[in-house]
Amino acid sequence: MQSILPSTCKFMAVVKANAYGHGDVQIAKELNRAGIFSFAVATLAEGVTLRKHGIKGDILILGYTHPKDIPSLKRYRLIQTVVDYSYAAMLEDIGEKIRVHVKVDTGMHRLGESYSHIDNLKAIFGCKHLLIEGIYTHLSAADSLRSSDVAYTRQQIGRFYDAINQISHSGYAIPRIHIQSSYGVLNYPELDCDYVRVGIALYGAYSHPQDQTKVSVDLLPVMAVKARVSAVKEIPAGDAVSYGRDYVASRPMKIAVVAIGYADGLPRNALDSQGQVLIHGHRAPIVGKICMDQLMIDVTDIPGVAQGDTVTIWGQDGTEQITAEQVAANSNTITNELVSRIGSRLERVYIRHKQAK
């Protein structure tokens, strides 16, 4: 990702939501070892967790922090996003120096002071107690190459720079700028910014398996999800499997019960015509409804399946591979949601790639 960016642009690793389910502390430590010292999180608690575990560098809170918790910003050396003008005024009234980045709403209509409220933006920059170290926006359709979405993204970018120019013409120094998230980098790498906020691509995945981008990069998935076979049983034709009796065996079958379910983050609706897992290097279809703690698979034609065997929910087994993007698409969601919902009771085992330095 860094190789397609201007040399002056720094990498801001987005490690919110437990680093998209990968484990925020472990991921951030590895990034520190790789020379990354700028991070983005969603909440104060996420930032505090990183600091308590020795993560070095700048940590930007992208979301709202309640006024009662503002003292923790200084205590843990965190940077707060100014979510709008009224929030800036509240921070200013505290009367203490607070490190911030200013968010500009250019059309996402989530957080940020509107690009059209120039007087409010100037007033934010005029706050004496706010140490403004950055200004940024978020692109709502950067993942799409449809002409209408590209036009809207260009409009957002134009709105952002127009607001910056007006702030600058009023005599205020413009701090470090960041616009792009993962797809902003992949589709608009030419933007001259000081940071890029890389999220899902950092973990070697796209949001959708069919996504096309202007720039092609070799993304390697960081996460594989595996579980154990807890039981193997034979059932006669005509018997039903799992809740609701929706799946009925059309022939005598061998069923393996796998110790993972929707409480672990696997979507309950992951079962459709392509709902599969890998075992012994073969694809095995999921049968019956996914339960809270278990799911069942058809291993009738896969020899030697036994209790304790490893099942790959997504990842690689032999020459076969199921990607997180495919599982997400089968579940009518995006990879970002799928991986960030991985439950805490799944043990995370970290293995450094042999080519990693």
Work out the angle at residue 327's Cα, subtended by the Cα atoms of residues 323 and 330, and round it to the nearest 5 degrees.
Answer: 135
For strands 310-317 and 295-298, give the pairing. Answer: unpaired
Q: Which helix (H) or strand (E) holds 322?
A: strand 320-322
Are the C-beta atoms of residues 257 and 294 closer than 8 Å to each other?
Answer: yes
| Count of C-beta atoms within a 10 Å radius of residue 254 | 16
Task: Clarify whether 243 is annotated catalytic.
Answer: yes
Task: Clarify whether 136 is annotated catalytic.
Answer: no
- Rounded Cα distance between 7 and 282, Å, is 44
At residue 277, the 3 state secondary structure works out as strand
Query: Of 52, 97, 243, 350, which residue is the catalytic one?
Result: 243
25: CB partners within 8 A, 6+ apart: 49, 50, 53, 55
Query: Of 16, 103, 226, 289, which residue is the catalytic one?
Result: 16
- What ranges in the chain are assigned the alpha helix state H? 16-20, 24-33, 44-52, 71-75, 85-94, 118-125, 147-169, 182-187, 324-330, 335-340
CA distances from 199 to 11, 21, 167, 321 (A): 11, 12, 29, 23
Q: Is 110 annotated as a binding residue?
A: yes
Q: Where are the beta strands (DSSP E) in 137-281?
A: 176-178, 195-198, 225-235, 240-241, 247-248, 253-258, 276-279
- Rounded Cα distance between 258 and 225, Å, is 12
Q: Which residues are annotated as a binding site?
A: 110, 292
Q: Which residues are annotated as a binding site for substrate?
A: 110, 292
Q: Known catalytic residues?
A: 16, 243
